[in-house]
């Protein structure tokens, strides 16, 4: 049984999710204590509990401690990961529903399913565009295309937008099994080709996405970036608004978003997203701070070494590297001066 200290480093949900993915893939039982000890409300929240149950379901794991607020979990895989048709609903994990980010549940089970024998189809319900987590747009336009270059064949289809706090979003994930993961080299990003954006609302008037799109296009053009923002007005369980920008470089991708809220103008929402994108653009780095920690897991499972240059070495990155190293699967080096991450599998 591998003992994981959930309070280590960042002490957040990623320690748990990475451990779940690796336990499902390797079949190693794990015990995690101090789950999310670094957070104001520690223990398993709806999104984490859904990730635990989803990972448990695909490898028939025996679970102890899978309850809301639990800070201790035992996860004992009962079989190899089974490809199949699954539905996981974050809102069902908590009375009164939840907008917990389904992208984080997706990231927990994606690689186990991609490495399993057979294809899978997973319906995920909850929050699709939630601050402080990858949005489904980021998954679709940044995370999956980069993983595709490592051999992962998966697609998401957004069925319904789900914002904080009501959720109510839905996606469908298709995963082709039997993947052989290869390494990735993202040391140079190359020239910016274009910025693509989506300015979206649910249950709000059409001038809002139009104003977000106009402001973003004007700001990015002033900075001499080629940009096109599409507007969308959809039905939803509640009002919501946001703008999601993807910068496409010759050899890399990155994405940033801004979320609407009461008394925040549509223009300000666009400015928030543009500012993050421009900050990243001016670093010259190939990989954004978030993809940096998310790439560690696929790189660990790849047969060749991966190397990438990041905009920022975050605590998430350092923490995730330490969690992965506990499984003894890869050697991870983070050069803080050059901001270069190298991941070398110890099993291939
Ligand atoms: N704007 C963003 N774009 C893409 N990914 C993001 C963004 N913000 C955060 N992330 C990613 O979301 C993940 C959040 O992990 P974290 O450990 O903070 O867990 P959590 O489950 O959200 O909960 P908590 O922080 O409440 O424990 C990280 O992989 C991080 O890189």
Contact 151, 122 (CB under 8 A): no
> Which residue blocks in 72-222 are alpha helix, DSSP H?
102-115, 136-138, 144-148, 207-222
Nearest to 173 by CA among 196, 139, 133: 139
Q: How far is the CA of 338 from the centre of ligand 1 (A)?
A: 24
CB-based burial, 309-321: b 16+ in 10 Å, e otherwise:
bbbbbeebbbbbb
**In this predicted model, what pLDDT tens digit does every residue of 226-262 receive, in sequence order?**
999 999 999 999 999 999 999 999 999 999 999 999 9
Nearest to 148 by CA among 18, 253, 51: 253
Contact 332, 343 (CB under 8 A): yes
pLDDT tens for the 348 residues of the chain, in order: 999 999 999 999 999 999 999 999 999 999 999 999 999 999 999 999 999 999 999 999 999 999 999 999 999 999 999 999 999 999 999 988 899 999 999 999 999 999 999 999 999 999 999 999 999 999 999 999 999 999 999 999 999 999 999 999 999 999 999 999 999 999 999 999 999 999 999 999 999 999 999 999 999 999 999 999 999 999 999 999 999 999 999 999 999 999 999 999 999 999 999 999 999 999 999 999 999 999 999 999 999 999 999 999 999 999 999 999 999 999 999 999 999 999 999 987
- Domain edges within the chain: 2-179, 188-283, 297-348
Catalytic: 281? no
For residue 143, give the ligand 1 atom closest to its CA. Answer: 4
Pair of tokens at residue 241: 């608004």
**In this predicted model, what pLDDT tens digit does every residue of 63-96 receive, in sequence order?**
999 999 999 999 999 999 999 999 999 999 998 8
Q: How far is the CA of 12 from the centre of ligand 1 (A)?
A: 9
> Within 6 Å (CB) of ligand 1, which residues are found?
10, 12-14, 36, 39, 47-48, 104, 132-134, 138, 290, 293-294, 316
Return all residues near 20 (Cβ < 8 A) that are at least 6 apart.
Answer: 30, 51, 52, 55, 75, 108
**What is the signed CA dihedral for 308, 54, 57, 30, rounded to 10 degrees?**
60
Q: What is the ipTM of this complex?
A: 0.96
Nearest to 293 by CA among 26, 10, 32: 10
> Which residue minimizes the CA distance to atom 19 of ligand 1?
13
How far apart, in whole angstroms, are the C-alpha atoms of residue 25 and residue 182?
16
**Residue 293 annotated as lining a ligand binding site:** yes
**Residue 141 annotated as lining a ligand binding site:** no
> Which residue minimizes the CA distance to atom 3 of ligand 1?
134
How far apart, in whole angstroms, are the C-alpha atoms of residue 142 and residue 203?
27
Inter-CA distances, 165 with 133, 169, 195, 266, Å: 14, 11, 29, 19
Q: How far is the CA of 261 from the centre of ligand 1 (A)?
A: 20
Pair of tokens at residue 224: 């001499």
> Which residue minimizes the CA distance to atom 7 of ligand 1?
133
Q: How far is the CA of 11 from the centre of ligand 1 (A)?
A: 12
> Which residue blocks in 59-162 are alpha helix, DSSP H?
102-115, 136-138, 144-148
> Which residue minimizes the CA distance to atom 5 of ligand 1?
134
Fold of 2-179: UDP-n-acetylglucosamine1-carboxyvinyl-transferase; Chain (3.65.10)
Q: How far is the CA of 293 from the centre of ligand 1 (A)?
A: 9
> Which residue minimizes the CA distance to atom 31 of ligand 1?
290
Assign domain 188-283 to its CATH superfamily: RNA 3'-terminal phosphate cyclase, insert domain (3.30.360.20)
**In this predicted model, what pLDDT tens digit does every residue of 105-130 receive, in sequence order?**
999 999 999 999 999 999 999 999 99
Choose which residue among 11, 110, 111, 132 to substitute to test ligand 1 binding: the one with the highest number of ligand atoms within 8 A of its C-beta.
132
Choose which residue among 12, 32, 137 to substitute to test ligand 1 binding: the one with the highest number of ligand atoms within 8 A of its C-beta.
12
How far apart, in whole angstroms, are the C-alpha atoms of residue 249 and residue 304?
23
């Amino acid at each position: 049984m591998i003992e994981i200290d959930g309070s280590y480093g960042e002490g957040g949900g990623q320690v748990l999710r990475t451990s779940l993915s690796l336990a499902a893939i390797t079949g190693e039982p794990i015990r995690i204590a101090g789950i999310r000890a670094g957070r104001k409300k520690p223990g398993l929240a709806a999104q984490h509990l859904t990730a635990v149950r989803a990972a448990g379901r695909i490898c028939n794991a025996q679970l102890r401690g899978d309850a809301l607020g639990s800070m201790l979990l035992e996860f004992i895989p009962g079989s190899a990961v089974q490809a199949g048709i699954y539905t996981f609903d974050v809102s069902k994990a908590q009375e009164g529903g939840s907008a917990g980010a389904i992208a984080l549940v997706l990231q927990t089970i994606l690689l186990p399913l991609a490495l399993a024998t057979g294809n899978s189809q997973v319906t995920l319900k909850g929050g699709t565009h939630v601050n402080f987590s990858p949005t489904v747009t980021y998954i679709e336009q940044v995370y999956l295309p980069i993983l595709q270059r490592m051999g992962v064949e998966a697609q998401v289809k957004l069925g319904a937008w789900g914002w904080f706090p009501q959720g109510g979003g839905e996606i469908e994930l298709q995963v082709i099994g039997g993947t052989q993961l290869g390494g990735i080299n993202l040391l140079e990003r190359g020239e910016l080709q274009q910025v693509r954006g989506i300015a979206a609302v649910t249950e709000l008037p059409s001038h809002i996405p139009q104003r977000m799109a106009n402001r973003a296009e004007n700001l990015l053009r002033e900075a001499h970036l080629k940009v096109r923002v599409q507007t969308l007005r959809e039905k939803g369980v509640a009002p919501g608004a946001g703008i999601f920008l993807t910068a496409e470089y010759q050899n890399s991708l990155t994405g940033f978003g801004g979320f609407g809220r009461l008394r925040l103008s549509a223009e300000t929402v666009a400015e928030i997203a543009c500012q993050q994108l421009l900050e990243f653009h001016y670093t010259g780095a190939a990989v954004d701070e978030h993809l940096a920690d998310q790439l560690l897991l696929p790189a660990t499972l790849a047969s060749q070494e991966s190397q990438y240059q990041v905009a920022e070495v975050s605590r998430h990155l350092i923490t995730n590297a330490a969690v992965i190293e506990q499984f003894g699967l890869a050697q991870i080096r983070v050069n803080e001066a050059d901001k270069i991450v190298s991941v070398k599998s110890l099993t291939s």
